[in-house]
Amino acid sequence: MKIYTVCGMGFGTSLMVKMTIDDILKEIGEKANVEAIDMGSAKGLSADLFVTSNDMKGSFPSVDAPVIYLNNMVDKAEIKEKVTCFFEA
Amino acid sequence: MLKSMLTKETVVVEDTCDTWQNAVLKAGELLKNTGAIEESYITAMAESVEKNGPYMVIAPGIALLHARPEDGVNEACMSLQVLKNGVSFGHKERDPVTLAFAFGAVDAKLHLQALQQLMELFNDEERLTKLKNCENVEEALVLLNE
């Protein structure tokens, strides 16, 4: 399982989302390799899931995996709800 | 980690700031005054907002401004402007910004620790509300160091 968290530069919010997802995966007993990247690097990458901000919706490259768009990149409750939903699907 | 970076030199409490550009300049100035960044880093932060849009407004009322380590960071650093009446970054839903954080990163490990502590703050609604409404720098520092 590979998850990419994506923001404009790859070491601000995407890192915070990565750390949050790492915590959540422990809580729900799932395993995945989570990596923070910048949007320019997302194109052409293969993964099981991408997680990014609602703000990126218009410009996010087309990828062959589900994309979670977050309203609030630092809200653990929203991230947990959406990531848990992905694992239950 | 936050404690060593967010100090009375790098935290300000103001009523407002007229434009987001000036908020970025001020954030940069606070960091540059401590010697932690070069002028080029301030320009890079502003360019990043111009280029990528207001996505640096990461949560309602909160902006996290930064550029890349190679844009001129001498040491890990962070600044905070508490803007009681807020400043507009042009974000449809998350304006006005009342907490404008800025950071410069060099070392991955320290950077992760700092971001982790920021996440804890951002998910502590009570502390966050108090911080947005604090009256002065002393009050802000107490809240940041809790």
Q: Is pLDDT at B110 greater than 90 in this prediction?
A: no
Contact state of A15 with B112 under an 8 Å Cβ cutoff: yes
Q: Is B8 helix (H, G, I), strand (E, B) or coil?
A: coil
CATH of the domain at B105: 3.40.930.10
Task: Give the C-alpha distances (Å, rounded to integers) separating B5 from B24, B62, B111, B120.
Answer: 18, 18, 11, 16
| pLDDT for residue B108 | 82
Domain with B52, as residue range(s), is 2-144
Cβ <8 Å between A9 and B68? yes
Select from A9, A15, A55 the Cβ nearest to the Cβ of B115. Answer: A15
Query: Does B139 have pLDDT greater than 80?
Result: yes
Fold classified for A2-88: Rossmann fold (3.40.50)
- In which residue ranges of chain A is pLDDT below 50? none
Q: Where are the domains of chain A?
A: 2-88
Indicate the number of domains in chain B.
Answer: 1
Distance, C-alpha B5 to centroid of its chain: 11
What pLDDT is attached to residue B28?
A: 96
Among the listed residues B66, B95, B128, B144, the single catalytic one is: B66
Q: Find how far residue B85's CA is from the centre of its chain.
A: 16
CB atoms within 10 A of CB B102: 28
Q: Is B91 a residue of the active site?
A: no
For testing the chain B interface, which of A6, A7, A13 should be mutated: the one with the most B CBs within 10 Å? A13
